[in-house]
Amino acid sequence: MTRFAAPIAEQIWDMKYRLKEADGTPIDQTVEDTWRRIARALAEVEDDAPAWESKFYGALEDFKYLPAGRITAGAGTARSVTLFNCFVMGTIPDSMGGIFDMLKEAALTMQQGGGIGYDFSTIRPKGAGVKGVAADASGPLSFMDVWDAMCRTIMSAGSRRGAMMATMRCDHPDIENFISAKSDPARLRNFNVSVLITDPFMEAVKAGKSWDLVFDGRVYRTVEARDLWNRIMRATYDYAEPGVIFIDRINAMNNLAYCETIAATNPCGEQPLPPYGACLLGSINLARLVSDPFGDAAALDEAALDDLVRTSVRMMDNVVDASRFPLPQQAEEAANKRRIGLGVTGLADALLMLGLRYGSDEAAEQTRAWMKRIARAAYLASADLAEEKGAFPLFDADKFLASGALAHMDEDVKDAIRKKGIRNALLTSIAPTGTISLYAGNVSSGIEPVFAYAYTRKVLQKDGTRTEEEVVDYAVQMWRDLKGDAPLPDHFVNAQTLTPMDHVKMQAAAQEWVDSSISKTINCPEDIDFEAFKNVYLEAYETGCKGCTTYRPNAVTGSVLSVAEDKKSAPEVVSKSDDEPATPHGDVIYIAEPLDRPQTLEGNTYKLKWPDSEHAIYITINDIIVGGRRQPFEVFINSKNMEHYAWTVALTRMISAVFRRGGDVSFVVEELKAVFDPRGGAWMQGKYVPSILAAIGGVIERHLVSIGFIAGEGLGLKSDPRAQVVNLDQPRGPACPSCGQFGMQMIEGCMTCPSCGHSKCG
């Protein structure tokens, strides 16, 4: 017997969470060993460690409580890793030395796998004077480019993919350039970007008033508020960024408004944090707590929920003491406030089991009721912990209870906090749960609707072949097990059949009882009218949301997969029609066997002169036509400098071997461009190139652009897609940059791969 509800769950565990030796030999023989490892590690700080280990194990058992991936993979391993998911870095000083100090701190944090957020509003605008050097400031966007390069460098060093959030206030003089920055797809590829929207700005938008752009007390320019709002909306409509964060609401509702000011969030937006703020995450799996699913007495076991929340809060509080931190300031901030972010996953599946249609008024009310119950249980549990172990050091009862988030809390909870204190300053958050939801049997992710009832996943076997397996939503599989071939009821809906306002309604319902924020994607149809699109954001603001992230598939963002409805069986995932614009990397050709070299090939030869080098390098790239499309086939690199001979020959052979297998070989460009020479790079045509290998990568990239293989500079993949041979007649969605499988989905604000769990957000 296995605890895993689906094969994909066991694969995710083995790939991401199972503790192994350096050579790959498993230490965790079973998932029970993993649960035991986590429970034991988090119980070590308790006076009665064996008793709490047993209690913690019971919460983890059968995937009822799901610690975030960093905790599941790192707790009890003795590895020097952080168990915290979310960081916002220190306030960036408006000075060159201070800016680069912050860059160093970001690199150290990202090296340990932390996703980071930054507010760039503190950097003076482009063109502002710089005292003492007779120069003008380059502006915050130029320094964001430096951060982006740093993130790329950390990634090239082999660590976990980095993720960053950049925010800027809506009254910063460079806000218009910030809004349009990602219209260039080659720029800021490692950043999510969001505009900090203030209440006065929203009032100015609604009233049709002007709006001052200000820095350090000086008005640089005055614009029309509606014009600026329309710029934000148009950018989001066209290429899915920037996001919108209602920053005044976040600060007004913050339990700690009396001792901190928030100006940034973590990369997915569910954790608004102060400078050096950090938060850990975990989720209650609501789908595992429903009794009599699809039956007349279907209900969530509320007593079990209360008990599970109490245990989860204690486990998460212990993580604060068990975790390492990249920086001492982060450790101090975490210890002073003991923030945790307890959320949910499997919400949509639980609603389906109760016969409720996601997006309906009834489902919204049920969501609100469940989230209130979780909030109550979490605050009461934290108050009990405070009585036992002490309140968080910066606790001030009067100020804490006067905060916006506590204003509508029940009086018995307030009384408990007043009497006992509270252990954790903030307790609830709804984070992206894509991977841990797969690990838990493919339950619906976070508070998102079911994306697809079923899809086919290709699995790489040890002998190099691939097998296909069906991955079924947890609730759909339960329906099949209970009802056989009976058609799915009408209340079964998925992300493609919901209106944007249904999404907003569910986010607002959950937000009422979440003291941090929520990571959620509001899916919009491609043909949504621009005015209707803007109304989504206005509705989010008016209904109490702390931010808003939408996704409208188009030629720029790539088409998310649509779902064909079939009541008799779980639908398959299919892509948009072939006459739509091609998505990046979605139309390359994979060659089953390396092709024999034709007698003649077309190509180009490029001369590369590296500064301070006596001899030039000549790079010849030849192409082949496959399926009516030109793609690179081989490379020759030659130089009179004999010191270059060995590595140029090796590079020639390796790159040519990769090119001849076909597929999306643009990752070669990204790998070469990421190589840094410790002796220093060089400035070439106004750009800093970190090494001669990076320069060669740039030449190959420009060739690929010239033949139409990639759309522009910076649009290659970071890593080898390792893709299988595909039938070119079959439509498909965007390819995953990690595993090469087609079918990337926008979930909880992140492009996510259903096959391997890869996420843009780290």
* HEC secondary structure over 520-577: CCEECCCCCCHHHHHHHHHHHHHCCCCEECEECCCCCCCCCCEECCCCCCCCCEECCC
> What are the tens digits of pLDDT across the range 551-563?
888 766 554 433 4
In this structure, are residues 214 and 137 in contact, taking their beta carbons and an 8 Å threshold? no
The region that residue 434 occupies, defined by phi over 0 for left and psi between -120 and 50 for alpha, beta otherwise, is alpha
User: Is pLDDT at 762 greater than 60 in this prediction?
Assistant: no
Show the tokens assigned to 200.
């006065």
Distance CA 660, CA 79 (A): 40
Between 725 and 602, residue with greater pLDDT:
602
Report DSSP state, residue 61. G
Extents of the domains making up the chain: 86-253, 602-706
Output the pLDDT for position 574.
Answer: 30
Between 410 and 609, residue with greater pLDDT:
410
Residue 469, beta-bridge partner list: 457
Pick the range with the lowest mean pLDDT from 222-231, 366-375, 718-727: 718-727
Query: How many angstroms from the chain centroid is the CA of residue 537?
Result: 21
> What are the tens digits of pLDDT across the range 178-220?
999 988 877 888 899 999 999 999 999 999 999 999 999 999 9
Distance CA 340, CA 430 (A): 11
H/E element, 236: helix 225-239
Residues recognised as catalytic: 266, 268, 270
Pick the range with the lowest mean pLDDT from 406-410, 423-427, 568-572: 568-572
Mean pLDDT of 462-468: 63
Output the pLDDT for position 594.
Answer: 53
Distance CA 491, CA 363 (A): 11
pLDDT band at 161 (very low <50, low <70, confident <90, very high): low
In this structure, are residues 537 and 231 in contact, taking their beta carbons and an 8 Å threshold? no
Output the pLDDT for position 572.
Answer: 34
User: Is pLDDT at 175 greater than 70 in this prediction?
Assistant: yes
Report DSSP state, residue 616. -
Mean pLDDT of 261-273: 93
> What does the DSSP assignment read for 240-282?
S--EEEEHHHHHHH-TTTTT----EE-TTSS-EE-TT-EEEEE
The CA-to-CA distance between both ends of the chain, in Å, stands at 33
Q: What is the dihedral of CA 126, 172, 100, 684, to 10 degrees?
A: -40
H/E element, 646: helix 645-660
* HEC secondary structure over 732-762: CCCECCCCCCECCEEECCEEECCCCCCECCC
Quote the pTM value: 0.78
